[in-house]
Amino acid sequence: MASMKAVSHSVSKLFKSRKRVSDETKHSSALPKEVCRQFSLAEIKIATNNFDEDLYLGDGGFGRVYKGFIDDGTVKVAIKCLKIALLRTEVLLISQLHHPNLTRLIGYCPDEDKGFLVYEFIVNGSLYRHLYGNNPNSLRWKQRLQIGIDVARGVHYLHTGLKHTIIHCNVNTVNVLLNEKWEAKLTDMALSKLGPPSLSKALIRVESRIVGTKGYMDPEYTMHGQLTDKSDVYSFGVVLLELLCARKAFESKAEVEGQRNLVNWARKCKREGSINVIIDPYLKGTIAPECLKIYMDIATSCVRNKEKDRPTIGEVELILEHTLELQEAADAARRDVDPGVDQYNYPIAEFTGSASPPESEVYLSDSDRTIHYISRDRGCSPFQSLE
């Protein structure tokens, strides 16, 4: 396979220029009705049965989220409550995003002191729940690969699909949702930032407090406030490691200190040639060795400490697609020999990383006062089913 540097940068056709939202104009009353559907507060109350606790799904980081029913109860939706000051920015941003791997905004409702966003309801819930919930062995390896590809495509669209780069800033397994076809959709744009024009190498320097989810945050962002599209690549690399290992990005209750941070642990295992120690036991023997090597290489390249050393999301997407092709080819070859078998028992082969200097460990301090970590104790996405 061609080296990563030789992978061409696939860039989507640029869409129409979008208006930059003024920091001074925050009230939702200025929202044009044609942006998307506008609901009245009465309609929101009917949809949620007056915010019935039985329809409460969880907290979306900035407010409560409820399951709801609109259009005479025929359409199931997720209704997110948030501060009125955030409503305009989110609606103008999300309403312009049209991609199969991003959750779809149906409409909004402005109220005096708060607002509501109405999203499509994603029936199979979050990736987090399927990796760590009551039935953690529900996703097979090729399904996980396809989920990774889906998320990469969604992030790629945000980075290159519009005139200006959009940096998601909170890519994690809670914000990856799975629909009825097990297709992945990235959600929750509450922390997203409007970046420079697509193809630009400029960075965003964040002067306000640094916000994100512990275990997923780009080290350069947390240390220097420097936010780029490669910050999303770092977070996505952590998701790739979780797909392979079914281990949380940060586990404060881990008995062994070196196993609390997944990135540090995965780097150590790769360096020592003990990758199989960290892989989800459910997947062992189901991954073709050449597929595992390429997957581990791209995942760990995404979580390099310096953003200049990470690949673009477009490169990651292409390599993941190639990885899935390798796995399917390996399965097809075995199927020719043993056509009655659904999953195949591959040899467990260890490998080590390149001879490049090892990365320093990512340090996460529980007492860090400059970083606001988003709580995810419930492991519940605001758009998932709890049924």
**Which residue among 120, 137, 154 closes a domain?**
120
Judge whether 7 lies within some domain.
no
Residue 113 and residue 141 in one domain: no
Which of 150-164, 182-196, 366-380 is predicted most confidently? 150-164
What's the rounded mean pLDDT across residues 344-357? 67
pLDDT reported for residue 304: 97
The 10s digit of each residue's pLDDT in 184-231 is 999 988 888 888 787 666 667 766 578 889 999 999 999 988 889 999
The 10s digit of each residue's pLDDT in 307-323 is 999 999 999 999 999 99
Q: Does 52 or 387 have the greater pLDDT score? A: 52
pLDDT reported for residue 354: 54
Residue 334 and residue 369 in one domain: yes
pLDDT reported for residue 8: 31
Residue 84 and residue 158 in one domain: no
Which CATH number do you get for residue 95?
3.30.200.20
Judge whether 11 lies within some domain.
no
Which of 18-22, 93-97, 362-366, 378-382 is predicted most confidently? 93-97
Total number of domains constituting the chain:
2
Judge whether 255 lies within some domain.
yes
What's the rounded mean pLDDT across residues 24-32? 45
What's the rounded mean pLDDT across residues 254-272? 88
What's the rounded mean pLDDT across residues 339-344? 69
Residue 202 and residue 331 in one domain: yes
Residue 244 and residue 310 in one domain: yes
Q: Does 155 or 189 have the greater pLDDT score? A: 155
Judge whether 366 lies within some domain.
yes
pLDDT reported for residue 210: 85
Judge whether 98 lies within some domain.
yes
Which CATH number do you get for residue 188?
1.10.510.10
For residue 307, the enclosing domain spans 127-373
Residue 162 and residue 56 in one domain: no
Residue 165 and residue 197 in one domain: yes
pLDDT higher than 90, residue 14: no
Residue 173 and residue 30 in one domain: no
Q: How confident is the model at residue 375 (pLDDT cuts 50, 70, 90)?
A: low
> Long-range contacts of range 203-211, CB-CB < 8 Å, 24 or more positions apart?
203/227, 203/228, 204/167, 204/228, 209/370, 209/371, 209/372, 210/370, 210/371, 210/372, 211/169, 211/371, 211/372, 211/373, 211/374
Judge whether 242 lies within some domain.
yes
Residue 145 and residue 289 in one domain: yes
Judge whether 152 lies within some domain.
yes
pLDDT higher than 70, residue 68: yes
Token pair recorded at residue 330: 């390996």
Average pLDDT of the chain is 82
Residue 263 and residue 219 in one domain: yes
pLDDT reported for residue 334: 86
Residue 53 and residue 169 in one domain: no
**Which residue among 120, 144, 176 closes a domain?**
120
Residue 91 and residue 139 in one domain: no
Judge whether 378 lies within some domain.
no
**Which residue among 120, 146, 163 closes a domain?**
120
